[in-house]
Chain A
Amino acid sequence: MFGDYSLGDLGSIFVMQGFAGLILFSVYVLMALGLAIIFGQMGVINMAHGEFMILGAYVTYLCSGFFQAHLPGLFPAYFFVAMGLAFLASGALGMLVEWALIRHLYKRPLDTLLATWGLSLILQQAYRSIFGAREVGVELPAWMMGSVQATDTIEIPINGLFVMGVTVLITLAVALLLFASRWGKQVRAVMQNRVMAGAVGIDTDRVDRTTFGIGCGIAGIAGAAFTMIGSTGPTSGQLYIVDTFLIVVFGGAASLLGTIASAFSISQTQSTLEFFLSGSTAKVLTLLGVVAILMLRPQGLFTLKVRR
């Protein structure tokens, strides 16, 4: 498949596809971060995670419409507002869901999976009733369009760089929160020994709710980023949920670094293969590779050996 290209061409292709893969990578990382927090720290499988992401995308869509109609002067900056609102909306919905549904099911992970699937169906239908079945697109401010000409053959899209930057910031913020803040310590304490954490005075219920909320909120930001690579429809989120779970599992649950590394390798493999093969074949090969590696190494890429 490489036969028709010169070595220089191939280099450029890899770099360009690499950057094209970066937005996908960012969406994956943001989705997977939220999921990794929820699954890795709480052991909960949230099948409605894709719908939380799509909520963020719809919020971005509404924002862009609102700014265009009422605040055209501020339109160049609307994306920042949209990301903040997306985080709040998805986070709030997440906390509500945790309170109404998830907290009753902590001891039954497989049942959580089914219940959150039911939730995802309800959310999808709600989006369809509110926003219609047609997919909607978001208009980007002018400064995000276009690309930077790095060399003669390599162009880098600006929105890609922007999303990349946001992803790095959020990843750092999550790492800081988890490893340096009081909340992070509490989350890890609850994860390791729920009963003991409760006994030393940590409000485990509140920690659970905040954790779930933050995980869903990050999915909302992923949704804002998602509007740049695809149009938003009621079922768009469902397409990503399996990929994202594979990323989390592949990276080794509970390992932030692993999540990022696996999101990077999966998105880059897929985007590079897509250039040479059809989209569906690229997808099949990528997923097959991940499943095959998981069969050889079910604990994921990064895990610790612990005393049982």
Chain B
Amino acid sequence: MKLPTVNDNPFMKPMEWLSLLVLAALILVVLPLALDGFRLNLVGKYLTYAFVALGLVICWGYCGILSLGQGVFFGLGGYCMAMYLKLEASSVENTKIQSTPGIPDFMDWNQVTALPWFWKPFHSLPLTLIAVVAVPTLFAFVVGAAMFKRRVGGTYFAIITQAVAAILTILIIGQQGYTGGINGITDLRTLHGWDIRTDSAKSILYFVNGGLLIACILIAQYVKRSKLGRILVAMRDKEDRVRFSGYSVASFKIFAFCLAAAFAAVGGAMFTLQVGFMSPSFVGIVPSIEMVIYTAVGGRLSLFGAVYGTLLVNWAKTSFSESFPELWLFGLGALFIAVVLAFPNGLAGIWRQHVEPRLPGRAKPPAAPTVLPHGAPAE
């Protein structure tokens, strides 16, 4: 037996470069040409969820940590961005009919008379951009450190993240005067003076979003093929052994969780910019677990699959709820069950097993290593 590829560990294999090219062409060329402004904006909204799905591939697929609270990070990123936009929309000029001009309208309605301290940094765009990523990542660090250092994992971790999502939602809804309550932060207008509601702004934001998504894929790809990526796989398999190879397992888990949080936060901020509001309905338990299904449908070990999975599920959701709203929940429920029972590798698994071997000029043996076997959660 010869040793063909053991010594080189390329950043991306030719097939992966091709996949990236196809995805980039689809997002940046095909869809913008094929869809009208309204539909394109819708796809842009879906793609913001793909950031979350991408983070889950690293965190759940590779590291084995299932977080059911990714909506928290998506929401925190989105809220940070929304707070900046809201302050800009609430200039003294715009709000002179309020009893306290210069503060967001919902504060005025709730008898808040001065801007709370935690809103103040969001007057500044640079501080906001830092906060969009830093606040959710730091929060993930605190939760992750508290849990992983004490070796809490698996189902316990999933339940705790769910509880965190529940707490944050209740908190946002309950503290109306500071957060906008159940309606969220709405009526957002300009980003540093640039009107984000115009058609041209929307299409520019769509391309910014697509570019950021591809950048995140490249970052995730770098992590995945580095030694850290292999350590994550090793940890999912035999956590104890990794410890006895001299690694601090908790630090690696915290890293994976924080990376997923940072991706989700970028998605959240882009959501706010493209859709024009942010509300607690993207933070709680239900949206968080729905984001997991995007990853599961795409294939929990495939970065590209995560994007396609997100697009597919959301496309199905939109078309179903337009025509048969009552069928959608049945469909979504069945999807959860089917993807777990029958297709644990999602779309990427189907592709690798059934399509790729039949492509011309590819007589290689089935590339088993990245496919999840039917029984155990192993790579």
A129 and B327 CA atoms in complex are apart in Å by: 10
Q: Contact between A291 and B164 (Cβ–Cβ < 8 Å)?
A: yes
Interface size on B, residues (CB 8 A): 46
Max chain A Cβ within 10 angstroms of own Cβ: one of B285, B337, B376 = B337
Q: What 0/1 pattern do residues 127 to 163 of B give for CB contact below 8 A with A?
A: 0000000000000000000110011101110111011
Q: Contact between B337 and A298 (Cβ–Cβ < 8 Å)?
A: no
Distance in Å: Cβ of A289 to nearest Cβ of chain B: 11
Distance in Å: Cβ of A234 to nearest Cβ of chain B: 10
Question: From residue 159 to 177 of chain B, which have CB atoms closer than 8 A to chain A?
Answer: 159-160, 162-164, 166-167, 170-171, 173-174
Residues of A within 8 Å of B375, CB to CB, are: 107-108
Max chain A Cβ within 10 angstroms of own Cβ: one of B154, B159, B289, B332 = B159
Q: How many A-B residue pairs have CB under 8 A?
A: 120
B219 interfacial by beta-carbon distance below 8 Å: no
Q: Contact between A122 and B155 (Cβ–Cβ < 8 Å)?
A: no
Q: Contact between B150 and A295 (Cβ–Cβ < 8 Å)?
A: yes
Q: Contact between B377 and A118 (Cβ–Cβ < 8 Å)?
A: no
Q: Which of B285, B332, B336 contacts A115 (CB 8 A)?
A: B336
Q: Nearest B residue to A44 by beta-carbon distance?
A: B155
Q: What 0/1 pattern do residues 274 to 308 of A give for CB contact below 8 A with B?
A: 00001011011001101100110010000000000
Q: Which of A113, A122, A281 contacts B66 (CB 8 A)?
A: A113
B36 interfacial by beta-carbon distance below 8 Å: no
Q: Which of B158, B171, B174, B335 contacts A113 (CB 8 A)?
A: B158
Residues of A within 8 Å of B171, CB to CB, are: 280, 284
Question: From residue 331 to 354 of chain B, which have CB atoms closer than 8 A to chain A?
Answer: 332-337, 339-341, 344
User: Given the known A-B contacts A101-B341, A115-B336, A117-B336, are A107 and B329 also in contact in the complex, defined by CB atoms under 8 Å?
Assistant: no
Q: Contact between A121 and B152 (Cβ–Cβ < 8 Å)?
A: no
A45 and B152 CA atoms in complex are apart in Å by: 16
Q: Contact between A114 and B292 (Cβ–Cβ < 8 Å)?
A: yes
Q: Contact between B163 and A290 (Cβ–Cβ < 8 Å)?
A: yes
Which of A151-159, A183-191, A242-250, A257-265 sits within the interface? Answer: A242-250
User: Given the known A-B contacts A107-B375, A108-B376, are A115 and B340 also in contact in the complex, defined by CB atoms under 8 Å?
Assistant: yes
Q: Mark A residues whose CB is within 8 Å of B.
A: 45, 101, 104-105, 107-115, 117-122, 124-126, 128-129, 238, 242, 245-246, 249, 278, 280-281, 283-284, 287-288, 290-291, 294-295, 298
